[in-house]
């Protein structure tokens, strides 16, 4: 997708507004749901219209698989909303709007003199959110439903994992020792204040990816040992992390023994098992977008199991609603994002790969595209890194 030198004042203003909107979206993702999903994306759309971004969409869809697959998945979920016919069909479909926003963000990103500004703004916003979390824990600010977070423990853990990965690469790039101190604070926030098993898994996955990206085999083994040591240390000294880990292990063991538990982890395992059953009932096209809650309630009727509208797994959520067709598009999208990441160089390539790992692993434990803040982080980074850095067609 090529860019042209602005020939009209509206284009210059549009480029400036586009840059500001992407930076503000990144900064507010961890801080304000209303701003990062409503106000600033609306500004991005206005900027895109000012730049007449719609004119480049046909070329973008023809030359960029990430863009094409984002549109394909969004469109197929819309089709599934029609044939599903559920009362929540279009309400749920609308929550996947981030897939459409990727196209707009790509159109704006190609005009940026430095795409890293939006990514850096995201990191700064995450650092502010971490500071707020510590202040909440210290009693200086009110808690969120009894937790030191701005949104939820699941979201806080997932976002802190991304921040840890970014800090690792920023330290490697700049050599600033103060970055390591910030990294320690991030890990302390995750292991001692935030009850998020997803965040822990993501930190380990992204830490391993960092080692694979930057270290030789011998040092990689040392780093893997270091990650395990961090987990062991947290298990030994953090009652919250130790209790959560023990409950997770116990829930898995009881599930393997055919028992039903009603702990948070036990309920999540029930969601997975029941969702697989629902998927098997309509494997090709699914039950329809927006019908997950209805079908799940029917499946567990007469039992003591909790009814849910979200299985906390994006693959199952998409699969139950839109079948193998939708699930296949989602997996193809992840692969296309990985291919797109390989076209970048240096820190840009590593961060783009990290986004793919963050998304693909996170979708195993939560609905990272459906959920608002996680979905907006995906949309922003996919918009920034999803297109090739030069105007070249994909082979």
Q: Tell me: the pLDDT tens digits for 111-169?
A: 777 778 999 999 999 999 999 999 999 999 999 988 999 999 999 999 999 999 999 99
Confidence of residue 389 (pLDDT cuts 50, 70, 90): low
Dihedral sign (CA 199, 202, 208, 214): negative
CB atoms within 10 A of CB 345: 9
* Most confident of the ranges 204-218, 254-268, 307-321: 307-321
- Name the phi and psi angles at 371, rounded to 5: -65, 140
Q: In the beta sheet, which residues pair with residue 147?
A: 144
Q: Output the DSSP codes for 203-215.
A: HHHHHHHHHHHH-
Cβ neighbors of 16 (< 8 A, separation 6 or more) are none
pLDDT at 62 over 60: yes
Arithmetic mean of pLDDT over the chain:
89
Q: Residue 4: inside a domain, yes or no? A: no
- What DSSP designation does 8 have? S
Quote the pLDDT of residue 111: 77
Quote the pLDDT of residue 335: 97
H/E element holding 57?
helix 57-63
Mean pLDDT of all residues in 33-61 = 94
Contact criterion met (CB below 8 Å) for 136 and 149: yes
Q: Residue 177: inside a domain, yes or no? A: yes
Mean pLDDT of all residues in 217-242 = 79
Burial of 392 (0-12, 13-18, 19+ CB in 10 A): exposed
Query: How many folded domains does the chain comprise?
Result: 1
| Least confident interval from 100-109, 251-260, 284-293 | 251-260
Mean pLDDT of all residues in 94-110 = 94
Q: Residue 391: inside a domain, yes or no? A: no
Q: Residue 68: inside a domain, yes or no? A: yes
Q: What is the per-residue pLDDT across 113-129, written as a single tens digit (0 to 9) for each?
A: 777 899 999 999 999 99
Q: Which domain holds residue 39?
A: 9-253+289-385
pLDDT at 72 over 50: yes
Contact criterion met (CB below 8 Å) for 378 and 119: no
Buried-state track 287-321, b at ≥16 Cβ within 10 A, e below 16 = bbbbbbbbbbeebeeeeebeebebbbbbbbbbbbb
Q: Where are the beta strands (DSSP E) in the chain?
A: none
Q: Output the DSSP codes for 266-288.
A: HHHHHHHHHHHHHHHHSTTT-S-
Contact criterion met (CB below 8 Å) for 380 and 122: yes
Mean pLDDT of all residues in 183-196 = 92
Confidence of residue 14 (pLDDT cuts 50, 70, 90): confident
The span from the CA of 118 to the CA of 111, in Å, is 13
Q: Residue 75: inside a domain, yes or no? A: yes
Q: Residue 390: inside a domain, yes or no? A: no
The span from the CA of 310 to the CA of 332, in Å, is 22
Quote the pLDDT of residue 114: 75
CA distances from 124 to 23, 70, 118, 175, 268 (A): 10, 28, 10, 18, 32
Mean pLDDT of all residues in 301-311 = 89
pLDDT at 43 over 60: yes
Quote the pLDDT of residue 390: 52
Q: Residue 195: inside a domain, yes or no? A: yes
Q: Residue 315: inside a domain, yes or no? A: yes
């Amino acid at each position: 997708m090529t860019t042209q030198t602005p020939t009209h004042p509206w284009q210059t203003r549009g480029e400036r507004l586009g840059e500001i909107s992407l930076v503000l979206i990144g900064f507010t993702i961890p801080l304000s749901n209303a701003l990062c999903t409503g106000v600033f994306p609306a500004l991005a759309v206005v900027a895109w219209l000012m730049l007449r971004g719609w004119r480049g969409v046909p070329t973008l869809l023809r030359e960029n698989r990430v863009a094409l697959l984002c549109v394909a998945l969004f469109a197929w979920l819309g089709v599934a909303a029609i044939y599903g016919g559920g009362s929540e069909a279009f309400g749920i479909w609308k929550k996947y709007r981030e897939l459409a926003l990727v196209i707009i963000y790509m159109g704006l990103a190609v005009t940026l003199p430095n795409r890293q500004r939006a990514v850096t703004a995201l990191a700064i916003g995450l650092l502010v959110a971490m500071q707020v979390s510590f202040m909440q824990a210290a009693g200086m600010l009110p808690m969120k439903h009894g937790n030191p977070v701005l949104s939820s423990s699941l979201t806080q853990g997932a976002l802190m994992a991304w921040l840890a990965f970014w800090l690792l690469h920023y330290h490697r790039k700049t050599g600033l020792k103060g970055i390591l101190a910030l990294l320690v604070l991030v890990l302390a926030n995750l292991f001692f204040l935030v009850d998020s098993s997803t965040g822990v898994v993501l930190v380990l996955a992204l830490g391993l990816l960092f080692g694979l990206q930057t270290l030789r085999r011998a040092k990689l083994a040392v780093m893997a040992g270091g990650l395990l040591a961090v987990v062991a240390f947290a298990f030994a000294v953090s009652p919250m992390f130790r209790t959560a880990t023990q409950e997770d292990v116990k829930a898995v063991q009881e599930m393997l023994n055919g028992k039903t538990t009603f702990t948070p982890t036990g309920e999540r395992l029930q969601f997975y098992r029941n969702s697989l059953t629902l998927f098997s009932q309509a494997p090709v096209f699914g039950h329809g977008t927006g019908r997950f809650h209805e079908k799940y309630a029917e499946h567990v009727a007469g039992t003591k199991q909790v009814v849910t509208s979200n299985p906390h797994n994006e693959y199952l959520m998409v699969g139950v609603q839109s079948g193998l067709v939708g699930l296949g598009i989602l997996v193809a999208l992840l692969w296309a994002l990985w291919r797109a990441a390989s076209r970048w160089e240096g820190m840009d390539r590593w961060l783009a790969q990290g986004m793919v790992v963050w998304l693909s692993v996170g979708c195993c434990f939560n609905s990272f595209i459906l959920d608002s803040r996680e979905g907006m982080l995906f949309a922003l980074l996919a918009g920034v890194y999803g297109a090739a850095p030069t105007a070249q067609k994909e082979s």
